[in-house]
Amino acid sequence: MIITEEDYKGFDEKYELIRAQLLSLFIHNPIIFLGYNVGDDNIKKILRTIFSYVEHNSESASKIKSNFLLVEYSPGDDNDIISEHDIVLNEGLTIQINKVKTDNYSKLYNSISNIHLPVTALDVRKVQNVVKEIYAGGEIKVSITEDLDTLRNGDKILAIGSTKTISYHYETSAELLSNYFKIIDESNYQILFLIDKYKIQAAQYFPIFGFSKINSQIQSIEKLKEQQVKNIDECLKNIKPASQKTHITVTDILADETIPSSYKTSSIIWNTFYRNIPLELTESYLRETSSNPTTDYRKILSIYDWVKYSSETQDLGTESDIIQGTSFNSAVTPI
């Protein structure tokens, strides 16, 4: 909430902390900027950040545009028609956003209150985990309430409904990877049993090391680990010298005009493998782009997953340590 001059200053100071989450939020969620003017610096700064990672004419940009609404206050205006509006972010970059100028906020609030949001498979599995706790016994406190406002976030709630209104949706392996960080964050071991039901090809980049830390009962763990290491080894062997330039952030790689566009993924992989880029920065980049698990995304995710969760890399700190401590000796090109 930005109102006063001090709020603007505070926003600038904290901006770096929220920047990493912006892209994922904009792609997956409806975003409403309420009361701002279309020329506001905050709006432009956020959009510049988003479109520094997303091509303005790409599919992701279209998703962002469809999710984005700027509500601009216009005294005495009862308008409720959403229109497209061009906004200039910087020289040479103009994007379209959805905007409505109005004084009729009650209609806006009513529209928002009538939205029915879907329930994801991950949410269903949270319920399954609670049911398992109830089955197991122990100190489980169950209460019945009709006043949802009295519930706290930490309470475990079980909602019971008709089989006609509750359905289960099982994810594909691609959908599982797009939710990789959510599964890791929530330690959702139950959904990982689905991995044994997937047909994962030998050449497919699949990050099993992190998942195996959560669920060690996956039957195909060892096979998939071997497959992941083999694919990473092959990937590193094929990295061209043009990609082997030291950078300490993903942003620097994307902005480096001396690295061809087709080599940027390889450069991110190479710098992540050698720990030039801190893992948390690679993680931020992956979280921001998780909605579209392309082959390039899977390659970076596989490298990140192996570096972070493989026991071979836990105590390694230098480039020479990494080379000597893994099976990737043949993959590196000295520079």
Higher pLDDT, 163 or 4: 4
The two most distant CA atoms of the chain are separated, in Å, by 71
Q: Are 298 and 179 within one domain?
A: yes
Q: Is 94 helix (H, G, I), strand (E, B) or coil?
A: strand
| pTM greater than the 0.75 cutoff | no
CA-nearest of 69, 32, 24 to 50 is: 24
Q: Are 298 and 156 within one domain?
A: no
Looking at the structure of the chain, the number of domains it has is 3
Token pair listed for 47:
């959009």
End-to-end CA distance of the chain: 49
Token pair listed for 189:
């071991």
Give the per-residue pLDDT at 309.
Answer: 92
Q: Are 139 and 250 within one domain?
A: no
Measured CA distances, 26 to 9, 62, 64, 90, 247 (Å)? 23, 11, 6, 20, 27
Q: Are 302 and 195 within one domain?
A: yes
Task: Find out whether 167 and 138 touch, Cβ atoms under 8 Å.
Answer: no
Q: Are 151 and 30 within one domain?
A: no
- The alpha helices in the chain, defined as continuous H runs, are 5-28, 41-53, 59-67, 105-113, 121-136, 173-178, 180-186, 208-214, 221-237, 250-255, 264-273, 279-288, 295-309, 319-324
- Residue 310 CB contacts under 8 Å (≥ 6 apart), including other chains: 209
Task: Find out whether 98 and 65 touch, Cβ atoms under 8 Å.
Answer: yes
Q: Are 254 and 309 within one domain?
A: yes
Task: Find out whether 272 and 303 touch, Cβ atoms under 8 Å.
Answer: yes
Tell me the per-residue pLDDT of 123-157, one tens digit each, with 9 for 90 and over.
Answer: 777 777 777 766 666 555 655 555 556 666 555 55
41 pLDDT tier (thresholds 50, 70, 90): confident
Instruction: For residue 298, give its domain range.
Output: 173-331
Helix axes 279-288, 264-273, angle to 10 degrees: 140
Q: Are 80 and 144 within one domain?
A: no
Give the per-residue pLDDT at 55.
Answer: 76
Q: Are 239 and 301 within one domain?
A: yes
Q: Are 10 and 80 within one domain?
A: yes
Give the per-residue pLDDT at 140.
Answer: 58
- Bridge-based pairing state of the strands 93-102 and 83-90: antiparallel
Q: How many CB atoms lie within 10 A of CB 331?
A: 18
Q: Are 62 and 177 within one domain?
A: no
Is the per-residue pLDDT at 31 higher than 70?
yes
Give the per-residue pLDDT at 239.
Answer: 92
Q: Are 23 and 87 within one domain?
A: yes
What is the rounded distance in angstroms from the CA atom of residue 330 to the CA atom of residue 162? 58
Domain end, chosen from 93, 113, 133, is at 113
Q: Are 178 and 271 within one domain?
A: yes
Dihedral sign (CA 335, 279, 47, 14): negative
Give the per-residue pLDDT at 170.
Answer: 46
Give the per-residue pLDDT at 1.
Answer: 74
